Each structure stands twice: as structure tokens, then as C-alpha cells.
Amino acid sequence: MKPNKLEKIFCFLIVKSVANFKPRWATNIQYYFFKRWGMRFNGRPNYISSKIWFDGSDYSLIEIGNQVTMSSYIRVLTHDWSLHTVAKAFDVEQEKPFGILDSVKIGDYSFIGTGTIIMPGAEIGKGCIIGAGTVVRGKIPDFSIYIGSPGKIIGDSKNYLAKKIPSLDAEIFK
């Protein structure tokens, strides 16, 4: 279902109103509305900041895994119309605008840091850590630590967890 403008305004006003004192409530409200509008969830998110912008051109192109945490000021894009603009520089005839629509997938138990931009076609694997300010493109393998602009893999989240919490049983990482 494509949301009407009044419903979107209502949703975002409620979310902004409760986010400062009950962030989990804001996540639950967003979960309800985004699911209603066609976003796909594989379970419930752990946390979705009220300060995220999802590309609303087609919410069904966005899939979010179970227990995902999404920090503030993230941009999730499912479209790119730059080709339309650049083609005009070459006087290319266009019956309809040139553009790209592509899905975005965020795997279960992944963490997305503040200020991240997730580009159309990105697939973030299970258990990934995406660093603050990262530009995410392409396919990110499960349990990767991915940072930068452009982003690159710098480590493994299983090794990072084992290093930071040595009391964990090493068997869980196999």
C-alpha cells in the first residue's frame, strides 16, 4: 500500500513526538507504518532511529532483517536519476526519464552507524557492522565490518566481538 500524504504526516509527527522520551515506542510505530506501506521485515527491528530517511518512492524495495539497529541520520536510497540529468547534456532524446530503481537489503543482526548512506542495490549481510558515515554499495558479506567513503571491509564482526568480550565461549563463533 502506498501511503497518502496525510498518513505519512501523522506517522512522522507521532514518531517525532515520542522519540525523545520513548525511543522503543518510536521504533514500534515506524515498524507498523513502514510494514503497512510495503517495507519488508524479517522479524522485528531492534531499533530504528526517528531521524532516518527511507526513500519513499517504493517502500517494497527495502528489506530489513531481524534485530537490526539503525542509528540516526541514515539515508536509504532505492533510486538514482543522475542518468536523466547527464543525458540532457548530450541532447539525448528521452521518452521517459532515465533512472535506476533497485532494492536495498539489510541482513539480520546488523548495526548501521550514524550518517550512513545506503545506495540502491546494496545488500548488507547478517551480523555486519557498518561504521558511521559510510557509503554502502554492492554486496557486503556476512559478519563484515565495513567503513569509509567509499566503504571497504576492514574486519570481521565475530573476531571483533571475541576480542572485546573475551569471556564469550569461542564455540559460538564457529
pLDDT tens-digit map of 70-79 = 999 999 999 9
Handedness of CA 35, 69, 27, 78 (dihedral sign): negative
At 127, list the grid cell. Answer: 551480523
Cβ-contact 124, 136 below 8 angstroms: yes
> For residue 56, what pLDDT is reported?
78
Q: What number is the average pLDDT over the span 47-68?
A: 94
What topology does CATH give the domain 39-173? UDP N-Acetylglucosamine Acyltransferase; domain 1 (2.160.10)
The pLDDT of residue 164 is 87
Asked if residue 3 has pLDDT above 80, the reply is no
Cβ atoms 115, 132 nearer than 8 A: yes
pLDDT, position 173 = 62
Q: Using CA atoms, how far apart are residues 71 and 57, in angstroms rounded to an integer?
A: 22
**pTM: predicted TM-score of the whole model, two decimal places:** 0.90
Say if CB 103 and CB 61 are below 8 A apart: yes
Break the chain into its structural domains and give their ranges. Answer: 39-173
Higher pLDDT, 109 or 85: 109
pLDDT at 172 over 70: no
